[in-house]
């Protein structure tokens, strides 16, 4: 009688074997290597590192391979692995000002110190399927950057001149408020969302940590909603920069910072609608996004949502979902969201049985009450009362 529910152990084992076979696909084709994913699917790798909250391109590529390309599953794999790692210390605050930029654009100045630099971008590409990739599987030779020429982008110096933050230029003029934590970064208390449970109201530092590993799709939709009037905040893309930044650690024994390596980052600073009061001169406000790897869409969405969540700070009316921190922070994590949604697949016989019992009782009472009135008017099936 228990055939349907017994044998779970064997069923699980077989399901996993089948999954492994499905992941591998057609064995007449060569197996994709982790190194290939790492090198050729760098944007997918970036998203897994960012939302998996661990900077490791190889493990992120491994997770993608293991998850058969399912991003949210890969993010979960990396996040679960991350949770087992010891935490040694916090790095010295990153100096994104010194980023070796591969891309840097500002939508608010035509030209500016450090210049505009398009870098590797899908922007301005016509979204036409490139069938040459299908045919040959290789990039055409004329785009080979190893050939020396005046037009060779790879040969340009990476950092031709200092590249100050656009918003700092505005800050110097007093047009944008200096952020409080910028005043003395060393003294700022650094919360850690991986160790401390979330409490409301949260701090901006906590919010930014949560947004940084929040689901790109969720944040994109929230950001978009502010543009459509649900918590509008008049954004300008002050600056977007993508490139490599050194990470410095201050080891206890040394007493001075030492470089630990470099990581690729995307940073976005939005310039938003200005605020002012009888006592304070009008100033622009700011939204901030910072994510691992090249992930511009996510960084922009994060910056827009960060600004929306500062509504309280600027005494704005909190009326839209993107402005409500409990709503945004409790629901933006895709590991949590995917887990809880998928748990509906677990058996719920017991809960459902208790509801069945009640609804049959209610329907029986309903039938008794209405039986005096025309039985024939009931278009439902006859009640199936528990034997």
Partner 1 sequence: MTNMTTETRFAQSGRESMENTAAEGYNFAYLDEQTKRMIRRGLLKAVAIPGFQVPFGGREMPLPYGWGTGGMQVTAAILAPEDILKVIDQGADDTTNAVSIRAFFERTARVATTTRSGEATIIQTRHRIPETPLKRDQMMVFQVPIPEPLRFIEPSETETATLHALGDYGVMHVKLYEDIVAHGHIATCYAYPVEVNDRYMMDPSPIPRFDNPKLHMSPALMLFGAGREKRLYALPPYTRVVSIDFEDYPFEAQRQDGVCAICGSANTYLDELIVDDRGTRHYVCSDTDYCQEHAGQQGIRA
Binding residues for partner 1, per CB under 8 A? 1-2, 4-9, 11-12, 76, 79-80, 82-84, 86, 194-201, 326, 330, 335-336, 338-343, 346-351, 353-358, 361-362, 365, 384, 386-387
184 exposed, middle or buried (CB, 10 Å; 0-12, 13-18, 19+)?
Answer: exposed
- Helix, strand, coil share of the chain (percent; to 5): 40, 15, 45
Cα distance between residue 189 and residue 124, in whole Å = 42
Smallest separation (angstroms) from partner 1 to the CB of 75 = 10
Smallest separation (angstroms) from partner 1 to the CB of 45 = 20
Smallest separation (angstroms) from partner 1 to the CB of 177 = 27
Q: Which residues pair with 283 in a beta bridge?
A: 275
Question: Which residue lies nearer to partner 1 by CB, 131 or 349?
Answer: 349
Question: Which residue lies nearer to partner 1 by CB, 7 or 261?
Answer: 7
DSSP string, 95-143: -GGG-EEEEEE-SS-SS-TT--B--S-STT------HHHHHTSS--GGG
Question: Which residue lies nearer to partner 1 by CB, 54 or 167?
Answer: 54
Smallest separation (angstroms) from partner 1 to the CB of 336 = 5
Question: Which residue lies nearer to partner 1 by CB, 218 or 284?
Answer: 218
Long-range contacts for 10-19 (Cβ within 8 Å, ≥24 apart)?
none
Question: Which residue lies nearer to partner 1 by CB, 76 or 292?
Answer: 76
What is the maximum span of the chain, computed from C-alpha positions, in angstroms?
94
Question: Which residue lies nearer to partner 1 by CB, 72 or 237?
Answer: 72
Quickly count: other Cβ atoms within 10 Å of residue 355's Cβ: 10
Tokens 């490599």, residue?
A: 244
134 exposed, middle or buried (CB, 10 Å; 0-12, 13-18, 19+)?
Answer: exposed
Torsion of CA 124, 295, 222, 208, to 10 degrees: -140
Smallest separation (angstroms) from partner 1 to the CB of 162 = 40
Question: Which residue lies nearer to partner 1 by CB, 52 or 238?
Answer: 52
Smallest separation (angstroms) from partner 1 to the CB of 243 = 30
Smallest separation (angstroms) from partner 1 to the CB of 310 = 18
Cβ pair 100, 244 in contact under 8 A: yes
């Amino acid at each position: 009688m228990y055939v349907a529910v017994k044998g779970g152990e064997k069923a699980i084992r077989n399901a996993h074997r089948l999954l492994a076979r499905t992941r591998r696909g057609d064995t007449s084709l060569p197996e994709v290597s982790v190194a290939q994913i790492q090198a050729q699917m760098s944007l997918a790798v970036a998203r897994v590192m960012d939302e998996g909250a661990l900077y490791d391109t190889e493990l992120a590529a491994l997770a993608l391979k293991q998850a058969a390309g399912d991003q949210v599953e890969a993010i979960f794999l990396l996040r679960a692995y991350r949770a087992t790692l010891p935490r040694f210390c916090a790095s010295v605050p990153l100096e994104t000002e010194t980023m070796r930029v591969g891309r840097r654009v500002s939508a608010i100045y035509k030209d500016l110190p450090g210049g505009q630099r398009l870098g590797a971008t899908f922007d301005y590409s016509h979204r036409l399927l490139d069938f040459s990739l299908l045919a040959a599987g290789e990039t055409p030779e004329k785009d080979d950057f190893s050939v020396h020429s005046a037009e060779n982008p790879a040969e340009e110096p990476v950092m031709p001149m200092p590249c100050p933050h656009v918003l700092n230029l505005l800050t110097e003029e007093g047009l944008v408020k200096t952020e409080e934590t910028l005043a003395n970064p060393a003294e700022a208390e650094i919360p850690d969302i991986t160790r401390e449970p979330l409490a409301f109201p949260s701090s901006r530092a906590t919010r930014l940590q949560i947004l940084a590993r929040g689901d790109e799709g969720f944040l994109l939709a929230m950001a978009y909603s502010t543009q459509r009037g649900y918590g509008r905040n008049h954004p300008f893309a002050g600056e977007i920069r993508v490139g490599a930044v050194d990470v410095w650690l201050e080891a206890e024994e040394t007493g001075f910072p030492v470089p630990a390596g470099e990581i690729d980052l995307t940073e976005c600073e939005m310039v938003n609608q200005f605020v002012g009061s009888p006592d304070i001169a009008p100033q622009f406000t700011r939204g901030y996004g910072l994510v691992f790897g090249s992930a511009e869409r996510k960084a922009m969405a994060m910056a827009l949502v960060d600004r929306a969540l500062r509504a309280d700070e600027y005494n704005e009316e909190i009326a839209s979902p993107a402005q409500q921190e409990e709503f945004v922070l409790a629901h933006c994590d895709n590991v949590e969201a995917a887990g809880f949604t998928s748990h509906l697949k677990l058996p719920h016989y017991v809960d459902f049985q208790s509801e069945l019992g009640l609804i049959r009782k209610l329907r029986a009472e309903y039938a008794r009450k209405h039986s005096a009135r025309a039985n024939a008017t009931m278009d439902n099936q006859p009640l199936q009362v528990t034997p």
